[in-house]
Amino acid sequence: MKFIDEVTLLCSSGHGGAGCVAFRREKFIPFGGPNGGDGGRGGDLIFEATKALSTLLELRHKQHQKADRGRHGMGKNRHGAAGEDLVVKVPVGTLIKDFETGEVLADLTDDGQRIILLKGGRGGQGNARFATATNKAPKFAQPGEEGEERKLRLELKLMADVGLLGLPNAGKSSLITKVSAARPKIADYPFTTLAPSLGVVGYKNFRSFVMADIPGIIEGAHEGAGLGHRFLKHLERSGILVHLVDISGLPDSDPYAAFEAINRELAMFSEELGEKGQIVALTKMDLPTAQEHLAEAQVWFQERKIPVYPISSITGEGVEALLDAIAERLWSAPKEEW
């Protein structure tokens, strides 16, 4: 299934039905009287978050969302039926913005959360409502009130407890495959992962947490380089970040400079993301070159007071210790200390 995390919609609520102008025409009632009914109200446009969806793909093909209009009033004091509300279902984590101003109108972060974004128009009153002692036969009624219309921008930010980040081919997809049932594409070339994927990681005592695999980030990602600019926003909702660093390419590559460059990209994308707590995992420990440079890497991170966890997603070495560290951060440490 194609992953779509942004979509533009033209939305409108239903117009209210018009009131009716009508008069009684009954035998033996010579003067009759007004009996025009009221129009029905227009339907509201409602957004509802659901865990059953993981992408905005369906809305990409339904960019016009319009609630039902109210029916017009009729004679014999018959009121028009109210228009049906339109419920637009979106994935949990969807941000709804005004397209023109960028104002955030709603942030749907809980399953089943609903918001009435556009109210339907009120129905007009029929002429029976306007009869008075001095005007017993009014020949006018109210028109229905128009519904609201708005152009909206929907952005999906994945709801994950843990976000994986690092250079392309750092081992993010291999790790999430090892610890969950997620099956992202794995290959020996950069940018194998083209869309985020979520995996539920089973932990001890029947506890679990959600991990997100984000496409690799390169320098300049906050300005659109590579794939990072489009997907950096998915890391903002993560409780903690696991930064994967591949040291198997030393001395030909410089993973330390890349580590610092990626952290600069996070800070330039958003201050909140730059300050989010991280756990560092040194990957591909099954490779001899990674083992050769492990001590050097541990010293480099220790000098910066950054704890590291050497792991191999192939053999499973160190993965349990990494999960323990993640669980401790998620469920033990207060958020302000992360």
Tokens of 260: 């610092």
Cis peptide leading into 255, omega within 30 of 0? Answer: no
Question: Model's pTM, two decimal places?
Answer: 0.73
Sheet (strand 94-98) strand order? 64-66, 6-12, 149-156, 94-98, 104-108
CATH 3.40.50.300 residue ranges for the chain: 162-337
Smallest Cα–Cα separation from 240: which of 329, 333, 324, 110? 329
Boundaries of CATH 2.70.210.12 in the chain? Answer: 6-156
Provide the greatest CA pair distance for the chain. 107
Q: What is the pLDDT along the chain (338 residues), one digit of tens a residue?
A: 466 788 999 999 999 999 999 998 877 776 788 999 999 999 999 999 998 888 888 898 899 999 999 999 999 999 999 999 999 999 998 999 999 999 999 999 999 999 999 999 999 999 999 999 889 889 999 999 999 999 999 998 877 889 888 888 888 888 988 888 766 555 454 444 456 777 888 888 778 888 888 876 655 544 544 454 566 777 888 888 999 999 988 888 889 988 998 888 888 888 888 888 899 999 999 999 999 999 999 999 999 888 899 999 999 999 999 999 999 988 874 444 33
Q: Which two tokens stand for residue 223?
A: 């300005």
Q: Which CATH architecture has domain 162-337?
A: 3-Layer(aba) Sandwich (3.40)
- pLDDT reported for residue 221: 42
Residues in the chain, how many? Answer: 338
**Structural domain 6-156, CATH architecture:** Distorted Sandwich (2.70)
